[in-house]
Amino acid sequence: MSANKKTATLHLEDVSIIDSFHFLGEDSVPATVSFDVTWTGSGPRHHFKPGSNDPTDPTNFDGKFRFGVATGTFSGSNSDGFSFTSDPGATSEGAFAEIGSESNGLFIS
Protein backbone atom coordinates (compact mmCIF):
# COMPACT_ATOMS: atom_id res chain seq x y z
CA MET A 1 0.00 0.00 0.00
CA SER A 2 1.24 3.48 -0.77
CA ALA A 3 2.26 5.87 1.98
CA ASN A 4 -0.89 7.99 1.40
CA LYS A 5 -3.03 4.81 1.63
CA LYS A 6 -4.72 5.54 -1.71
CA THR A 7 -3.18 2.81 -3.91
CA ALA A 8 -2.13 -0.80 -3.59
CA THR A 9 -0.85 -3.29 -6.16
CA LEU A 10 -0.79 -7.07 -6.16
CA HIS A 11 1.36 -8.93 -8.71
CA LEU A 12 1.52 -12.72 -8.99
CA GLU A 13 3.20 -14.54 -11.86
CA ASP A 14 2.91 -18.18 -12.90
CA VAL A 15 1.42 -19.36 -9.59
CA SER A 16 0.91 -23.13 -9.63
CA ILE A 17 -2.66 -24.28 -9.07
CA ILE A 18 -4.84 -27.29 -9.87
CA ASP A 19 -7.49 -26.85 -12.59
CA SER A 20 -10.43 -29.04 -11.61
CA PHE A 21 -13.14 -29.72 -14.19
CA HIS A 22 -15.78 -30.59 -11.60
CA PHE A 23 -16.11 -28.98 -8.19
CA LEU A 24 -14.16 -31.25 -5.83
CA GLY A 25 -13.98 -33.77 -8.66
CA GLU A 26 -11.23 -36.22 -9.45
CA ASP A 27 -10.55 -34.83 -12.95
CA SER A 28 -7.88 -32.17 -12.57
CA VAL A 29 -4.66 -31.01 -14.23
CA PRO A 30 -1.76 -28.76 -13.23
CA ALA A 31 -2.19 -25.11 -14.20
CA THR A 32 -0.73 -21.66 -13.60
CA VAL A 33 -2.27 -18.22 -13.18
CA SER A 34 -0.85 -14.71 -13.27
CA PHE A 35 -2.43 -11.41 -12.37
CA ASP A 36 -1.77 -7.77 -11.69
CA VAL A 37 -4.37 -5.76 -9.79
CA THR A 38 -4.14 -2.14 -8.69
CA TRP A 39 -6.66 -0.62 -6.30
CA THR A 40 -7.00 3.17 -6.40
CA GLY A 41 -9.02 4.88 -3.69
CA SER A 42 -10.66 8.26 -3.75
CA GLY A 43 -12.61 10.44 -1.39
CA PRO A 44 -12.53 10.42 2.39
CA ARG A 45 -11.76 7.34 4.48
CA HIS A 46 -14.71 5.78 6.29
CA HIS A 47 -13.97 4.57 9.82
CA PHE A 48 -15.71 1.40 10.96
CA LYS A 49 -15.54 0.76 14.70
CA PRO A 50 -15.84 -2.60 16.48
CA GLY A 51 -19.39 -3.84 16.99
CA SER A 52 -18.35 -6.29 19.70
CA ASN A 53 -15.54 -7.18 22.10
CA ASP A 54 -15.87 -10.90 21.33
CA PRO A 55 -12.78 -11.98 19.27
CA THR A 56 -14.91 -14.54 17.38
CA ASP A 57 -17.60 -12.01 16.35
CA PRO A 58 -17.24 -10.89 12.70
CA THR A 59 -18.27 -7.34 13.68
CA ASN A 60 -15.20 -7.09 15.93
CA PHE A 61 -12.96 -5.13 13.58
CA ASP A 62 -11.60 -1.60 13.36
CA GLY A 63 -11.03 -0.38 9.82
CA LYS A 64 -10.54 2.66 7.63
CA PHE A 65 -11.54 2.28 3.97
CA ARG A 66 -11.93 4.41 0.85
CA PHE A 67 -14.21 3.62 -2.06
CA GLY A 68 -12.19 2.98 -5.18
CA VAL A 69 -11.64 1.22 -8.46
CA ALA A 70 -9.68 -1.98 -9.08
CA THR A 71 -7.94 -2.40 -12.43
CA GLY A 72 -6.19 -5.56 -13.51
CA THR A 73 -5.16 -8.18 -15.99
CA PHE A 74 -5.56 -11.91 -15.48
CA SER A 75 -4.28 -14.94 -17.37
CA GLY A 76 -4.01 -18.66 -16.88
CA SER A 77 -3.21 -21.91 -18.63
CA ASN A 78 -3.34 -25.62 -17.88
CA SER A 79 -1.34 -28.64 -18.99
CA ASP A 80 -4.10 -29.64 -21.46
CA GLY A 81 -3.33 -26.52 -23.51
CA PHE A 82 -6.30 -24.39 -22.40
CA SER A 83 -5.46 -20.75 -21.73
CA PHE A 84 -7.23 -17.45 -21.18
CA THR A 85 -6.31 -13.79 -20.90
CA SER A 86 -8.54 -10.98 -19.67
CA ASP A 87 -9.08 -7.79 -21.57
CA PRO A 88 -6.19 -5.42 -20.83
CA GLY A 89 -7.09 -3.09 -17.99
CA ALA A 90 -10.29 -4.85 -16.89
CA THR A 91 -11.86 -2.65 -14.23
CA SER A 92 -14.38 -2.69 -11.41
CA GLU A 93 -15.78 0.65 -12.60
CA GLY A 94 -19.55 0.54 -12.10
CA ALA A 95 -19.26 -2.37 -9.66
CA PHE A 96 -17.46 -2.23 -6.31
CA ALA A 97 -13.95 -1.86 -4.92
CA GLU A 98 -12.44 -0.35 -1.83
CA ILE A 99 -9.02 0.01 -0.28
CA GLY A 100 -8.11 0.28 3.38
CA SER A 101 -6.69 -1.31 6.45
CA GLU A 102 -8.23 -3.13 9.38
CA SER A 103 -7.46 -4.85 12.62
CA ASN A 104 -9.68 -7.62 13.90
CA GLY A 105 -10.16 -10.06 16.72
CA LEU A 106 -7.47 -9.83 19.36
CA PHE A 107 -5.36 -7.47 17.19
CA ILE A 108 -7.71 -4.50 17.67
CA SER A 109 -6.04 -3.04 20.76
| C-alpha angle 83-21-23 in degrees, rounded to nearest 5 | 130
Predicted pLDDT of residue 27:
86
Dist. CA 83–CA 31, nearest whole Å: 9
Predicted pLDDT of residue 106:
65
Q: Kindly give, in sequence order, each residue whose CB lies less than 8 Å from that of residue 82, ignoring residues fewer than 6 positions away.
A: 19
pLDDT digits (tens, 9 = 90+) for 35-92: 999 999 999 999 989 888 887 888 888 999 999 999 999 999 999 999 999 998 899 9
DSSP strand pairing (98-104 vs 61-78):
antiparallel
